[in-house]
Amino acid sequence: MKKVLLLGMIMLLMLNHLCPGQTQVFPPDSKPASTNVQNAQYPRITSDMRVIFRFRAPDAQKVQIDLTKKFDMVKNAEGFWEVTTDPIVEGFHYYSVIVDGYTAVDPSSQTFYGMSRMASGIEIPEKDVDYYLAKNVPHGQIRQMRYYSEITKAWRRAFVYTPAGYDVNTKERYPVLYLWHGGGEDETGWPNQGKVDFILDNLIAEGKAKPMLVVMDKGVAVNPDAAPAARPAAAPPAGQAAAPRQPGMMMQNTTLEDVVIKEIIPMIDKEFRTIPDRDHRAMTGLSMGGFQSFQITLNNLDKFAYIGGFSGAGQMQQGVEFSKLYNGVWADADAFNKKVKLMYLSTGTAEPERMYQTVNNFKKELDKAGIKHVYYESPGTAHEWLTWRRSLQQFAGLIFK
Amino acid sequence: MKKVLLLGMIMLLMLNHLCPGQTQVFPPDSKPASTNVQNAQYPRITSDMRVIFRFRAPDAQKVQIDLTKKFDMVKNAEGFWEVTTDPIVEGFHYYSVIVDGYTAVDPSSQTFYGMSRMASGIEIPEKDVDYYLAKNVPHGQIRQMRYYSEITKAWRRAFVYTPAGYDVNTKERYPVLYLWHGGGEDETGWPNQGKVDFILDNLIAEGKAKPMLVVMDKGVAVNPDAAPAARPAAAPPAGQAAAPRQPGMMMQNTTLEDVVIKEIIPMIDKEFRTIPDRDHRAMTGLSMGGFQSFQITLNNLDKFAYIGGFSGAGQMQQGVEFSKLYNGVWADADAFNKKVKLMYLSTGTAEPERMYQTVNNFKKELDKAGIKHVYYESPGTAHEWLTWRRSLQQFAGLIFK
């Protein structure tokens, strides 16, 4: 097998990827981020969780890294822009490179749909925690499904996690968790940023969660018959002007509910071996997706027995009694507590104050109304994916039991 | 269902995505590219296939769009940088935004792994062609599988297309096509840039291809026992210095062959309902992936009956007779022609001359050796994904018949 080959053009192409020799010394006590693309040496993470960025921008005057906090880069003697950040909180963070005022995506890191646009992301490793990492356990699959929605007159995409053994245990039927992303994100959020497959693989392997399907679809559905002015619009990507303003979030919500109840659930129950009843169906989501989960489940309690919101609250309305909301679903606490097997709410202790308070106020209303629920505060994390990975790990361990 | 709600913080978050009203007039006779992220109005494509780019970069001195050819942008009176390109050839193209010398990924377009880094991509629509578009036909799934490779001591990922009905027709077994990406790309190439699912869905629905599985894995495998100096390395992303040079492409190839033969094929035959014999196994790939396909199949003719290379040739070696290559597989043309049910080769007429010639020279050697093959030239396309989508459509229609 060890042949000496004279390579044709194709092989030359491959060799083009082997760059001319250049010995480079990397900063000690640092290594490339796990979110880097193949072979990218920067960004690097130090042992005290600072991030070192370094790249060329020969003619730029001002270069910054935007990691919510902005860090100014400095041009070194070799012409590379460099910066070492403060220590960054563990978990996954979106970031941008700002070059002379242009908000750019970094070619060196994996990209993610977030902030209503493509964005760079970096994973800061968490000490002694491996529940969302690839481990030597049986692995499920994440399946991409394309379907046409008659309600929205548009093609949609769903991702469906199937647990290990799904294709082998062909007599077995499974419960289903419907799981929403947040505002400015899409159906790729949980598979990519959320690491849903590793979290479920690990939980199931340890016997801490039942084998289940997880359906991740897009939390946006536009009614094609609504007047254009009544359609919702997300923000345009950074640096672009907005399209004409389009109010009408309520329309979006009811259309999404229609798509879920009339299209997605029937499709999943048809295409997969589900247990198609309320006792084996859960829904939760993060931030905007939490609000949507409460909206959809509380309007359809015949279809869901497990309900959650991660960094996302349900309705609260000034001047309207809490017990009157959601068609009065909270009015009879005993009935609700008997019917709903889990009501789950979470937030991060480092979330922006108003976000933290909104979830906390909702929790207090539930307390006052006598609605049983599980409430979790993720220590030290903000309105970010680590809060939501932790919440999912908990939530998935509490349902279908 | 039509309630008036006072929205909590979560809802405010959603509303943040509705930007303040600003009426914007878009250039007439143009529309947003299909590759744009949700709601991005730019880049736009005109009816004569020019692309209009427009965004803010307040402090930049020089901004260019790199679509292989570079287009200088101009700052308009409102402070937006703008450019309208020449007409662009139909199909999918990688592009970059260059701001004061920094090669950036555009936050407004979907991103793709190509050119050994994350890159922006734009789809220029092709007139009267819909074989790679979503149509009202039964749809297959693309499944993401994670697995640990004992040979490379590393986690790997495979994408597997399963045709419509795979989960229903549980007695049916399927042939398998192994399909490689090109240099500087990875296993996401065919699912994203290549539109493999739509191409197969449409072919199968029209009865032009047999229902089959398509396995897309990464064409890079590093032997962990090789001395570091002997390991191959891809180019670092633009703007980064290279890691120390690491020759050893041959090691990569034999390691990849080992991974395919000893790990991937057995895993696919175990996890899926395949027909696990050579008459129901094909392999092809693009560019570097074509070279790899010839290498792996011609060394393992007991395992593959259908062989292809898109814009990629097999071995040719100065001073060595063609018939001596690949352990002499070409020496007995009759035996080869009887054993191999399809030998397929393609290229684009607009490819760079040396690439075109390499494939063409390989074709001439096959002719001289009396090796039967199908040869296709994609009119007007370069070393780009449209050449490879067309080639896949042909190849998939010729195998397993």
DSSP structure string for A177-209: EEEE--TT--TTHHHHTS-HHHHHHHHHHTTSS
Q: Nearest by CB to B243, which of A14, A41, A243? A: A41
Q: Nearest by CB to B118, which of A15, A111, A317? A: A111
Mutate which of B1, B15, B17, B216 to disrupt the A interface (most A C-beta within 10 Å)?
A: B17
CB–CB contact B191 A235 (8 Å): no
CB–CB contact B118 A141 (8 Å): no
In 3D space, the residue among B57, B36, B58, B52 whose CA is nearest the CA of residue B107 turns out to be: B36
What is the widest separation between alpha-carbon atoms in chain A?
82
H/E element holding A71? strand A69-72
CB–CB contact B13 A183 (8 Å): yes
Closest Cα in chain B, distance from residue A172 (Å):
13
Closest Cα in chain B, distance from residue A49 (Å):
21
Q: Enumerate the residues of chain A whose CB falls inside 8 A of the CB of residue B204.
A: none
Task: Give φ, ψ of B102 to 5 degrees.
Answer: -90, 125
Under a CB-based contact definition with an 8 Å cutoff, are residues A63 and A99 in contact? yes
Chain B residue at shortest CA distance from A42? B240
pLDDT at A59: 95
- Residue that is written with structure tokens 């692995």 in the block: A139
β-sheet bridge partners, residue A31: A45
Under a CB-based contact definition with an 8 Å cutoff, are residues B400 and B210 in contact? yes
- Comparing A223-227, B1-5, B78-82, B382-386, which segment has the lowest mean pLDDT? B1-5
pLDDT at A148: 98
β-sheet bridge partners, residue B314: none
Could you give the 3-state DSSP secondary structure of residue A281? strand
Distances (CA, A) of A136 to A205, A324, B147: 10, 50, 9
Q: Nearest by CB to B99, which of A22, A102, A245? A: A102
In 3D space, the residue among A256, A258, A286, A93 whose CA is nearest the CA of residue A183 turns out to be: A286
pLDDT at B13: 43
Could you give the 3-state DSSP secondary structure of residue B352? coil
Closest Cα in chain A, distance from residue B287 (Å):
6
| Residue B307 in tokens | 């062989």
pLDDT at A228: 57
Q: Is B149 on the interface with A (CB under 8 A)?
A: no
Task: Give φ, ψ of B350 to 5 degrees.
Answer: -100, 15
Compute the distance between CA of residue A293 and CA of residue A142 in angstroms, rounded to an integer.
Answer: 22
Closest Cα in chain A, distance from residue B97 (Å):
9
CB–CB contact B104 A97 (8 Å): yes
Compute the distance between CA of residue A17 and CA of residue A143 in angstroms, rounded to an integer.
Answer: 32
ipTM of the complex: 0.91
Mutate which of A15, A80, A102, A356 to disrupt the B interface (most B C-beta within 10 Å)?
A: A102
- Burial of B21 per CB tally in 10 Å (0-12, 13-18, 19+): exposed
CB–CB contact A271 B109 (8 Å): no
Chain A residue at shortest CA distance from B133? A155
Distances (CA, A) of A322 to A254, A326, A371, B2: 21, 9, 12, 17
A21 half-sphere exposure, CB direction, 13 A CA radius: 3
Name residues 27-56 of chain B within 8 A of A (Cβ).
Answer: 37-42, 54-56
Q: Is B172 on the interface with A (CB under 8 A)?
A: no
Q: Is B154 on the interface with A (CB under 8 A)?
A: no
pLDDT at A225: 83
CB–CB contact A8 B109 (8 Å): no
Q: Is A357 on the interface with B (CB under 8 A)?
A: yes
CB–CB contact A183 B16 (8 Å): yes
Compute the distance between CA of residue B41 and CA of residue B244 in angstroms, rounded to an integer.
Answer: 42
In 3D space, the residue among B64, B48, B317, B276 whose CA is nearest the CA of residue B176 turns out to be: B276
Q: Nearest by CB to B105, which of A20, A104, A233? A: A104
Name residues 265-324 of chain B within 8 A of A (Cβ).
Answer: 271-272, 287-288, 290-291, 299, 312-313, 315-320
Compute the distance between CA of residue A345 and CA of residue A375 in angstroms, rounded to an integer.
Answer: 5
CB–CB contact A107 B105 (8 Å): yes
pLDDT at B227: 59
DSSP A42: -
Chain A residue at shortest CA distance from B218? A38
CB–CB contact A316 B6 (8 Å): yes
CA A60 to the chain's CA centroid: 33
Q: Is A261 on the interface with B (CB under 8 A)?
A: no
Q: Which long-range contacts (CB under 8 A, 24 or more apart) does B259-263 make?
A: B259/B149, B259/B151, B259/B152, B259/B156, B259/B221, B260/B178, B260/B217, B260/B296, B261/B296, B261/B300, B261/B303, B262/B151, B263/B147, B263/B149, B263/B150, B263/B151
- Per-residue pLDDT band at B228 (split at 50, 70, 90): low
Closest Cα in chain B, distance from residue A233 (Å):
6
Mutate which of A16, A240, A359 to disrupt the B interface (most B C-beta within 10 Å)?
A: A240
Dihedral of CA A329/A334/A335/A336: which sign? positive
Q: Nearest by CB to A59, which of B96, B101, B184? A: B101
Q: Enumerate the residues of chain A whose CB falls inside 8 A of the CB of residue B139.
A: 145-147
Q: Is A184 on the interface with B (CB under 8 A)?
A: yes
Compute the distance between CA of residue B343 and CA of residue B366 in angstroms, rounded to an integer.
Answer: 10
Q: Which residues of chain A register pLDDT less than 50?
A: 1-21, 230, 233, 242-252
Q: Is A84 on the interface with B (CB under 8 A)?
A: no
Helices (H), B226-384: 249-258, 265-271, 288-298, 333-339, 353-369
Compute the distance between CA of residue A282 and CA of residue A198 in angstroms, rounded to an integer.
Answer: 19
- Burial of B287 per CB tally in 10 Å (0-12, 13-18, 19+): buried
* For range B24-52, the mean pLDDT: 95
Name residues 227-246 of chain A within 8 A of B (Cβ).
Answer: 232-246
pLDDT at A289: 98
pLDDT at A223: 87
CB–CB contact A183 B113 (8 Å): no
pLDDT at A24: 74
Q: Is A71 on the interface with B (CB under 8 A)?
A: no
- Residue that is written with structure tokens 């790249």 in the block: A55
Task: Give φ, ψ of B99 to 5 degrees.
Answer: -110, 110
Q: Is B104 on the interface with A (CB under 8 A)?
A: yes
pLDDT at B224: 87
In 3D space, the residue among B264, B277, B268, B272 whose CA is nearest the CA of residue B167 turns out to be: B272
Compute the distance between CA of residue A271 and CA of residue A288 in angstroms, rounded to an integer.
Answer: 28
Compute the distance between CA of residue B335 and CA of residue B314 in angstroms, rounded to an integer.
Answer: 19
Compute the distance between CA of residue B216 and CA of residue A144 in angstroms, rounded to an integer.
Answer: 14
User: For B314-368, how does the pLDDT look when each residue is reduced to its tens digit (9 = 90+)?
Assistant: 999 999 999 999 999 999 999 999 999 999 999 999 999 999 999 999 999 999 9
Q: Is A60 on the interface with B (CB under 8 A)?
A: yes
Could you give the 3-state DSSP secondary structure of residue A84? strand
- Residue that is written with structure tokens 């309630």 in the block: B3
**Residue B234 above 80 pLDDT?**
no
Q: How many CB atoms lie within 10 A of CB A143?
A: 22
